[in-house]
C-alpha cells in the first residue's frame, strides 16, 4: 500500500481519490468498477503491484559413465491461476494466499518431467507448413510439435500447430527449410493458466514406470539469504543448483518440459500445480538405462516493478 501511495502523489485526480478511498474501505465492487472504467489507471496499478513470478528450468541429459552431456534444454514457465492466487486445493496454498491471506504455506515442492503426447512419423517439404503422411491423430491449436531434420543443418523444426485438427495431415506455424521424408514427428504439450494437478488435458507427466525413482524429486532451495539466493536492483532469484533434481530413465520416451507441484506422488490429482513449461528445444529423446540421468536446475525469480 505504501508503494502504491508513493506512486500517486498528491494532488489526486478525482478518479484517483475515489480509488484511494475505496481501497482503504476494502470496497471490492467499487474498486473493480472504477478500474474497468479507467484503463489507464488500471494499467498503472497493475504495473506497480506486479511481482511477475516465474521459473527458469535447465535440464541436462548426461551419460553418467563418461560424464558427457548428451543434450541440454531450457524452459520458461507459465504460472497457473491456482499457483498465483487460487483456492480450493486443500493440500497446498497459492503464492498470494500464503503471503497476504491465510499465511498457510506449502514448503515442500517437487519437479516432474512432461513427456510426449504422441510419437508419429511424417514428412514435410521445404518451404511448407504441412506435415503429411502421419498416423491419424487429434491435435489442438498451439500444441508443441517437433519435426526431426526439417531445418537446414539438418536440425529439428520446433514449432506449434496453427489450427487443431483430426487427420493424417497437420498444419504448423513454422515452415520447413529442408525436405524431411518419413521422419520422427513428436507432438508435445499445450499449456493453460487454468491447468491443475487434477486437470491438464493437453500434457502428460512421466509415470512411475518411466524412471527408477519411486517419487517425484524434491525442489530443494537454500534458506533465505544463503546459498544461491541473489538480488539485482529489482530481480530476486533462488535456485537448486546445490541439490539438483535427478532422475534415472527406466523407459524410452521424449522429454518435452517440466512442472512444479506440491506432492511427490506420480498421481497429480488433488495437488497444487504451481507452474509448467515446455522445452524451447522441443522434444528430446530419453533412453532407458542406468548409464543416463536427467538433472534439473530450477531458478525461481520475482521481478519488482
164-196 pLDDT, tens per residue?
A: 999 999 999 999 999 999 999 999 999 988 888
pLDDT band at 9 (very low <50, low <70, confident <90, very high): very low
If asked whether residues 112 and 129 sit together in one domain, one would say no
Q: Is 202 exposed, middle or buried (0-12, 13-18, 19+ CB in 10 A)?
A: middle
Neighbours of 285 (CB within 10 A): 15
| Alpha helices per DSSP H over 116-251 | none
The three cell numbers locating residue 294: 536427467
- What pLDDT, on the 0 to 100 scale, is given for residue 7? 35
- Cβ neighbors of 144 (< 8 A, separation 6 or more) are 158, 159, 160, 187, 188, 189, 190, 256, 278, 282, 283
Bridge-partner residues for 118, per DSSP?
A: 187
Q: What is the mean pLDDT of residues 76-96?
A: 64
Q: Report d(CA 198, CA 257) in Å as an integer.
A: 18
Residue 147's pLDDT band, with cuts at 50, 70 and 90, is very high
Res. 105: pLDDT tops 80: no
**Measured torsion, CA atoms of residues 198, 73, 77, 297, in degrees rounded to the nearest 10:** 90
Mean pLDDT score of the chain = 80
Evaluate if residue 102 carries a pLDDT over 70: no
Same domain for 199 and 92, yes or no, is: yes
pLDDT, tens only, 248-298: 999 999 999 999 998 999 999 888 888 899 999 999 999 998 778 888 888
CATH of the domain at 177: 2.40.30
Do residue 31 and residue 175 come from a single domain? no
pLDDT at 177: 97
> Quick one: 22 and 147 in the same domain?
no
Note the pLDDT of residue 29.
58
Percent of the chain predicted with pLDDT > 90: 46
Whole-number pLDDT of residue 227 = 53
pLDDT band at 31 (very low <50, low <70, confident <90, very high): low
CB 71 within 8 A of CB 30: no
- 162 in the same domain as 18: no
- How far, in Å, CA of 148 to CA of 12, rounded? 59
- Considering the domain architecture, whether residues 35 and 82 belong to the same structural domain is answered as no
Mean pLDDT over 46-73 rounds to: 78
- Which pLDDT score, from 0 to 100, does residue 269 have? 87
- The verdict on 217 and 149 lying in the same domain is no
The pLDDT score that the predictor gives to residue 270 is: 82
pLDDT score, position 234: 60
- 276 and 135 in one domain? no
Long-range contacts of residues 60-69, Cβ cutoff 8 Å, at least 24 apart: 60/294, 60/295, 60/297, 61/255, 61/284, 61/286, 61/292, 61/293, 61/294, 62/292, 62/293, 62/294, 62/295, 63/291, 63/292, 64/290, 64/291, 64/292, 64/293, 65/291
Is residue 3 scored above 50 in pLDDT? Answer: no
> Average pLDDT of 36-45?
57
**154: cis peptide before it, omega within 30°?**
yes
Give residue 1's pLDDT.
29
- Biggest CA-to-CA distance, the chain: 70
Query: What is the pLDDT, as a whole number, of residue 209?
Result: 96
Distances (CA, A) of 90 to 97, 100, 132: 12, 17, 46
Beta strands 292-303 and 273-278 are unpaired
pLDDT at 214 over 80: yes
Do 251 and 195 share a domain, yes or no?
yes
CB atoms within 10 A of CB 26: 8
Do 289 and 228 share a structural domain?
yes
Final residue belonging to a domain, choices 151, 171, 187: 187
Of 166, 169, 161, residue with least CA distance to 188: 161
Task: Using pLDDT thresholds of 50, 70 and 90, give the confidence band for residue 92.
Answer: very low
Range with the lowest mean pLDDT among 194-208, 219-233, 281-295?
A: 219-233
Question: By residue range, what is the domain housing residue 78?
Answer: 53-116+190-303
Mean pLDDT along residues 17-28? 50
pLDDT for res 113: 95
Residues 110, 220 within the same domain:
yes
Residue 158 has pLDDT above 50, yes or no: yes
Q: In this predicted structure, what is the pLDDT of residue 297?
A: 86
With H, G, I as helix, E, B as strand and everything else as coil, classify residue 61: strand
Query: In DSSP terms, which residues pair with 265 in a beta bridge?
Result: none
86/199 same-domain check: yes
Cα distance between residue 302 and residue 77, in whole Å: 13
> How many structural domains are present in the chain?
3
Amino acid at each position: 500500500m505504501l508503494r502504491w501511495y508513493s506512486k500517486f502523489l498528491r494532488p489526486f485526480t478525482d478518479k484517483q481519490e475515489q480509488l484511494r478511498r475505496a481501497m482503504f474501505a476494502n470496497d471490492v465492487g467499487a474498486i473493480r468498477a472504477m478500474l474497468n472504467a479507467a484503463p489507464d489507471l488500471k494499467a498503472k496499478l497493475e504495473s506497480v503491484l506486479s511481482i511477475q513470478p516465474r521459473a527458469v528450468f535447465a535440464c541436462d541429459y548426461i551419460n553418467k559413465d563418461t560424464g558427457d552431456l548428451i543434450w541440454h534444454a531450457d524452459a520458461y514457465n507459465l504460472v497457473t491461476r491456482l499457483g498465483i492466487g487460487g483456492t480450493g486445493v486443500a493440500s497446498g496454498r497459492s503464492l498470494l494466499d500464503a503471503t497476504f491471506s491465510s499465511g498457510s504455506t506449502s514448503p515442500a515442492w517437487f519437479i516432474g518431467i512432461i513427456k510426449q503426447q504422441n510419437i508419429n512419423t511424417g514428412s514435410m517439404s521445404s518451404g511448407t507448413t504441412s506435415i503429411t503422411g502421419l498416423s491419424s491423430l487429434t491435435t489442438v491449436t498451439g500444441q508443441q510439435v517437433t519435426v526431426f531434420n526439417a531445418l537446414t543443418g539438418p536440425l529439428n523444426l520446433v514449432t506449434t500447430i496453427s489450427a487443431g485438427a483430426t487427420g493424417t495431415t497437420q498444419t504448423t506455424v513454422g515452415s520447413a527449410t529442408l525436405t524431411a521424408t518419413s521422419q520422427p514427428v513428436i507432438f508435445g504439450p499445450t499449456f493453460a493458466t487454468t491447468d491443475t494437478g487434477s486437470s491438464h488435458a493437453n500434457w502428460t507427466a512421466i509415470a512411475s514406470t518411466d524412471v527408477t525413482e519411486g517419487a517425484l524429486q524434491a525442489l530443494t532451495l537454500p534458506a533465505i539469504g544463503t546459498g544461491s539466493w541473489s538480488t539485482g536492483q529489482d530481480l530476486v532469484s533462488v535456485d537448486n543448483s546445490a541439490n539438483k533434481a535427478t532422475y534415472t530413465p527406466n523407459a524410452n520416451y521424449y522429454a518435452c518440459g517440466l512442472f512444479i507441484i506440491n506432492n511427490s506422488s506420480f498421481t497429480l490429482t488433488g495437488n497444487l500445480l504451481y507452474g509448467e513449461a515446455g522445452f524451447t528445444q522441443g522434444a528430446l529423446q530419453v533412453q532407458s538405462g542406468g548409464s543416463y540421468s536427467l538433472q534439473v536446475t530450477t531458478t525461481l525469480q520475482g521481478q519488482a516493478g
